[in-house]
Amino acid sequence: MNEERIVWFNGMLMPDDEVALSPFDLGVANGLGVFETLMAYEGSTPTFDRHYERLKTSAAVMDLAVPVAAELADAIQGVIKANELEGERARVRITLGTGSRPMQSSDDSCDIQDYIFITAVPQPERTDIAELILVPMRCNERSATSGLKSTSYANYLLAYRHARKEGADEAVMMNTMGQLCECSMANLFVVKDGCVFTPPLSSGCLPGVTRGLVMELCQREGIPVEEVELTEDVLFISEEIFITSSGREVQAAKMVDTSLTGPGPITQRLADAYRDIITQSA
């Protein structure tokens, strides 16, 4: 990897320390922005199309313009090559933010210089099994940003920090109705009696790209899968637990201080099937 980190900012490749954002930008000052994180495998981004569609959905809520897919795809390749990551597994992040504008202004015609940047860094290796812990932070399923990849990420980061301080790898978050929602940076699945269960999108969880792929794989592999409202007790009586995200892919999980081992047979089957899809598409 190139020691100098190169990013793509508003159409240009440049060192990250040359990126200039105004402290008056709403994306900087108020978190009015969206992002996507996807994986590059030796330069290939097999899930780009799915992430691009979700980026457009999130950006529309924030009234942010999204470059055409071909431009973003070319920009991602430029960042990967500039950072000499073609031979590695890299984490790519696309961030769109709202530029400067008076907070109280209702004039949509005023000139706002929004911004977009793309970064790429090596993806660290993960553990074989993630240890989880329930945290007090809640997901608000009624929030305007529920289900979006919003840069207003404090609630999730605080949940993740809480989990790490308690010796866990990830935080399990419930919503305001006391139902299981998601992890701070991953979607949550449990296996009981041979069936895969995951919280529904109505719980407030992110419509994860990997989540969606795993549900498709369940159908392809003949594994029963259901989106259902779940309570915390299921975490302690399930036969298997796994979490999904672009970086973690399909990762076996267990609650802290429990004897559950992994990955279980269904988790392993889905993890292998997911990796096969990624490899074939790369």
**What is the number of other CB atoms lying within 10 angstroms of the CB of residue 110?**
10
DSSP state of 185: S
pTM of the model: 0.93
User: To the nearest 10°, the Cα dihedral for 137, 141, 145, 151?
Assistant: 20
DSSP state of 229: -
* Residues whose CB is less than 8 angstroms from the CB of residue 225 and which lie 6 or more positions away in sequence, other chains included: 195, 196, 197, 198, 215, 218, 219
Task: Please give the distance of CA 255 from its chain centroid, rounded to a whole number.
Answer: 21
- Mean pLDDT of the 25-35 span: 91
pLDDT at 109: 52
pLDDT at 173: 99
| Rounded-to-integer distance, Cα 266 and Cα 175, Å | 27
Whether the predicted pLDDT of 105 surpasses 60: no
If pLDDT is split at 50, 70 and 90, which confidence band does 111 have? low
| Rounded-to-integer distance, Cα 275 and Cα 282, Å | 10
* Residues whose CB is less than 8 angstroms from the CB of residue 104 and which lie 6 or more positions away in sequence, other chains included: none
Residue-wise pLDDT for 246-263, tens only, equals 999 999 999 998 877 779
pLDDT at 260: 76
47-50-51 Cα angle (round to 5):
85
Supply φ then ψ for residue 21, to 5 degrees.
-120, 140
**Any idea which residue has 């696309």 for tokens?**
94
| Rounded-to-integer distance, Cα 222 and Cα 201, Å | 22
Q: Which of 231, 85, 106, 262 is nearest to 169 (CA)?
A: 262
